[in-house]
A and B are shown apart, each in its own frame.
Chain A
């Protein structure tokens, strides 16, 4: 099985608005695909559909050969379909390391333990600290999330997604709010992902898209208007006018 995620003719509307208009795409093992498009094109919605937060009106989604169209979001996560959030969703009163420990324990099916705190599980602590260190968040490990800067929260959002050991990873604007100076952390984290992992990345930072993606899909008004390599992107007139602007 080479195709991990296969989406066929997905459709979805909010009231009268067609947000997802007959979208088909597939991600093979090891694929690095960028999903771009104008604001409100339906990128986040597509991720929500794949992750199971919304139900499509028609079409199908299959994950590693298994049809997951009607499956609960939490079950999809267990199959290895992990997403990050465009607008961070974290636990304001928990510490940075709490977040990672929770993700690790959940991944390992140990989150129902009622006696031993993760502070007494060296293997969990080590893995969590390692994941933080990769994004250079380790000095903040014991800080409460409400008290770290927004950009740092964005990095944490990525760290959580990575630690869940995804097979298919959906990243919604992971690099937004991270300064050029720190972009290298993100790029390094993405470069270090296991090769067989399939990644779908949304971002408006074309530098990141060009450095990362081997394939680019452009969405506009819910429909796919372009699919190709990053190099072909700049020469497509539709993409230029709808998205990139003239000096791209």
Chain B
């Protein structure tokens, strides 16, 4: 499946009756890289997991390549092309590394596991270990690798760099950029490190209290320190 477009319109969602994400609309063209930034607790994670179908959907539409998915179950959305790397990693703790990877294959042959091992050689070394035995960074790699094995056409990444060594971060961001440029996936990235986020993304959404308060080109944001100051509460990017 090649990269797909993502259209979100009037989306509201939350946990049970509590509404967290309110009236969010945006769209990402196929193969685009978009970053979502915002302070702690502003609803970034909630937005991504709503797209994946893991929270309570209150209103609005989500369309992948034009097809509405907001009524579908998470597994149907996965087959519609969405892939998700959760912030808390959520690898299967009681499964081995290899079993974790197999669980993400979406029916593809097991020979494809090599893709994952190629990206993260560390995982190959640890493939017989149980999930809970992995180091923090290894768990993060596993979570990303597992999502990539499903060949998503829209990839939702929630702070995929947390806990990774700088050298791996660079490699991984390069790999993501590559995937998008090759037209394989559209990427939506939540990232805490502004520098990284702005360097990676073409477009940026800023979230505050569940709403999108700014959106535009990432250059526009980098070149306007007062905007960053306003939304993120720090002066400038160095």
Contacts and interface: CB of A to CB of B under 8 A. Distances in A.
Tell me if chains A and B make direct contact, with any CB pair below 8 A. Answer: yes
Q: Which 4 A-B pairs have the closest CB atoms?
A: A39-B137, A151-B40, A245-B167, A149-B41
B23 interface: no
Interface stretch (B64-72, B73-81, B156-164, B214-222): B156-164
A199 to B, nearest CB: 19
16 contacts: A36-B165, A38-B167, A39-B135, A39-B168, A40-B135, A40-B137, A41-B135, A86-B136, A150-B40, A155-B40, A173-B163, A180-B194, A183-B234, A184-B234, A205-B193, A242-B167
A39 B45 contact: no
Q: Size band of the A side of the interface?
A: 35 or more
Interface of B: 15, 37-42, 45, 87-89, 122, 126, 133-141, 159, 162-171, 192-195, 232-234
A247 B170 contact: yes
A243 interface: yes
A206 interface: yes
A206 B37 contact: no
Given A149-B41, A178-B40, A245-B170, A39 B164 contact: yes
B163 A180 contact: no
Given A149-B41, A150-B87, A182-B39, A243 B165 contact: yes
A39 B163 contact: yes
A182 B141 CA distance: 25
Interface string A109-151: 0000000000000000000000000000000000000011111
A152 interface: yes
A1 interface: no
Nearest to B191: A179
A136 to B, nearest CB: 10
A40 B135 CA distance: 5
A181 B167 contact: no
A179 B45 contact: no
A36 B163 CA distance: 11
Contact of A149 (B40, B141, B166, B194): B40
Interface string A45-58: 10000000000000
B159 A177 contact: yes
Given A150-B45, A150-B87, A243-B167, A177 B192 contact: yes
B178 to A, nearest CB: 16
B137 A206 contact: no
B165 A37 contact: yes
Interface in A194-248: 204-206, 241-248
A181 B232 contact: yes
A222 B12 CA distance: 47
Nearest to A149: B41
A181 B141 CA distance: 25
A216 to B, nearest CB: 13
